[in-house]
Structure 1
Amino acid sequence: MRSPTIVGRRQDSRPRHQQIAAELRAEIMSGDLEPGAQLPSTPHLVARFNAANATIQRALQALKDEGFVRGHAGKGVFVRDRRPLVVEASTYKSPDPRGYGYELLKVGEVTPPGDVAAALGVGGDDLVVMRHRLLVHDGAPVELSWSYYPVSIVAESPLAGRVRVRGGAPQVLAGLGFPQRHFSDRISVRQPTEKEVQELDLPPDVPVFRQFRVVYSDNERPVEVSVLIKGGHLYELSYHQPAE
């Protein structure tokens, strides 16, 4: 039996400092370099990666910007005791809400993006209510979100006003006769837009998670679509298979 031919194998064309940062980042995330561990010296890294000193310094600076390591003058570079913000994908809420808050950036009736209009089952010219928020954790921006609702459902509700919603959207929708029954998620990874880099204060070359969630009520009616953008250097998504 002939082995399949592998075609299109791409060479890594990233700048050398990005390649080196990626190798060290993977070792930190896997636990091979544990929290508190000192990274090898610059001469050691120069020899290991066959790279110039300046290239190693750029790689280390990238890891510092992302929060993976920190330098101590006269001592070296050490892995930070930094735990990722783990999100249970089944609820997409932090298991520990302490330290979280949000800023309501915009509320209003808008023409939805194409994928949102399709998911809500509205026409391309129909308006929906949008709530745009910035989530912060310990004072640092960690997520941008846009939530969209049919005007016919929420026009006279707190969701249409520029106020914090007591009890959250699920409680308001349930009170309007549209309780959440289930949802579907699509999660992808891409490079951030300029706006996302600025508002999430992202280091260079960091991708973002994009979550596209559709919430359904009775009779499979879509009542909410949310788009959430998170810095890929901060988060891990956690999935659990329920016991049968």
Structure 2
Amino acid sequence: MTAYIKARIDSGTLVAGNKLPPTQALAHQFNLSENAVYRAIGVLKAEGYVISQQGKGVFVADRRKVIAGPQRIKGIVQVGETIHHKSSTRVTPPAWVAEQLGEGECVNRVRTVNRGDLILQASQSWVHLDVAEVVPEILEPAACDPTWQAVYEDRSGKTLTVTKKELDARIATEEDITDLDLAPEDGPYALVVVRNIYAEEDKVLGVGEGVYRPGVPLSLA
């Protein structure tokens, strides 16, 4: 039962807020005793898949997978989410990005991933200007469908690889609090940070950083 429900949640068939069937219905479906169903629900709760609401039932938890590495090239949103692109600007990159991209200007793309009005993730990427020759859309304040990396691969016929990915954490800065629309008075906040470096052969073409909203359970598998 737990494997079946987890698989449906992981695949997006069951989404955050969906209510699980009553205990008796689950017991009948899986040929279990009600005590066994209670234990299974306990496992799902412990692993962050579901939550209980007293007097209402058991519901799928608001839980996201961290998308990183090669998967991120194919898209950064999940079921029920949208991208809100904020800006695309030619900038001189911060020192840690310049170490990867090289000296000179690049394109800084800033966006959030939302579920309704809730900001789940604040992301930005620094993209080499060479990419603009193939994907001029990166200079426009709009999202690339599904990502600039995927569009670049499709048009150029070349393959981008993730040469490095990092999972980190930090205390939220003032910029993080603004980007994620957090209440400053409720801080300090601890944030999960994911960084990816994208390269064509030995040339780095992009560096990305995603900062995840605190309080939303994440699957780091």
Q: TM-score, normalised by structure 2?
A: 0.64
Matched-pair identity in %: 16
Per the alignment, residue 192 of structure 2 pairs with: 209
- Pair 1:98–1:183, CA change in 2 (3 A): same
Judge conservation of contact 1:132–1:145 (CA < 8 Å) in 2.
yes
Letter of the 1:35 partner, please give it. I
Query: Partners of 2:65 and 2:75 in 1: how far apart?
Result: 7
Judge conservation of contact 1:89–1:237 (CA < 8 Å) in 2.
no
Query: Partners of 2:77 and 2:208 in 1: how far apart?
Result: 21
SS of match in other structure, 1:35: strand
Query: Partners of 1:209 and 1:176 in 2: how far apart?
Result: 33
- 1:128 CA drift (Å): 0.4
SS of match in other structure, 2:149: helix
Matched, 1:226 2:208: yes
Judge conservation of contact 1:87–1:94 (CA < 8 Å) in 2.
no
Letter of the 1:195 partner, please give it. E
Query: Partners of 1:170 and 1:111 in 2: how far apart?
Result: 21
- Pair 1:235–1:184, CA change in 2 (3 A): farther
Equivalent of residue 179 in structure 2, options 183, 199, 206? 199
Query: Partners of 1:224 and 1:132 in 2: how far apart?
Result: 13
- Pair 1:96–1:128, CA change in 2 (3 A): closer
- 1:190 CA drift (Å): 0.6
- 1:205 CA drift (Å): 2.9
Judge conservation of contact 2:120–2:212 (CA < 8 Å) in 1.
yes
Matched, 1:185 2:165: yes
Which has the higher Rg, Structure 1 or Structure 2? 1
Matched, 1:104 2:85: yes
Judge conservation of contact 1:178–1:223 (CA < 8 Å) in 2.
no
SS of match in other structure, 1:119: helix
SS of match in other structure, 1:115: helix
Q: Determine which structure has greater relative contact order: mean sequence separation of CA pairs < 8 Å that are 6+ residues apart, divided by chain length.
A: 2
Judge conservation of contact 1:178–1:217 (CA < 8 Å) in 2.
yes
Query: Partners of 1:222 and 1:150 in 2: how far apart?
Result: 8
Per the alignment, residue 87 of structure 1 pairs with: 66
- Pair 1:100–1:37, CA change in 2 (3 A): closer
Query: Partners of 2:220 and 2:94 in 1: how far apart?
Result: 28
Structure 2 spans left out of the alignment, 5+ residues: 1-43
- 1:96 CA drift (Å): 7.5
- Pair 1:102–1:193, CA change in 2 (3 A): same
Matched, 1:128 2:106: yes
Structure 1 stretch 83-92 or stretch 229-238: which is displaced more? 83-92
Query: Partners of 2:96 and 2:218 in 1: how far apart?
Result: 25
| 1:89-122 deviation digits (Å, cap 9, x = unpaired) | 45258898221112111111101011111112x1
- 1:138 CA drift (Å): 2.9
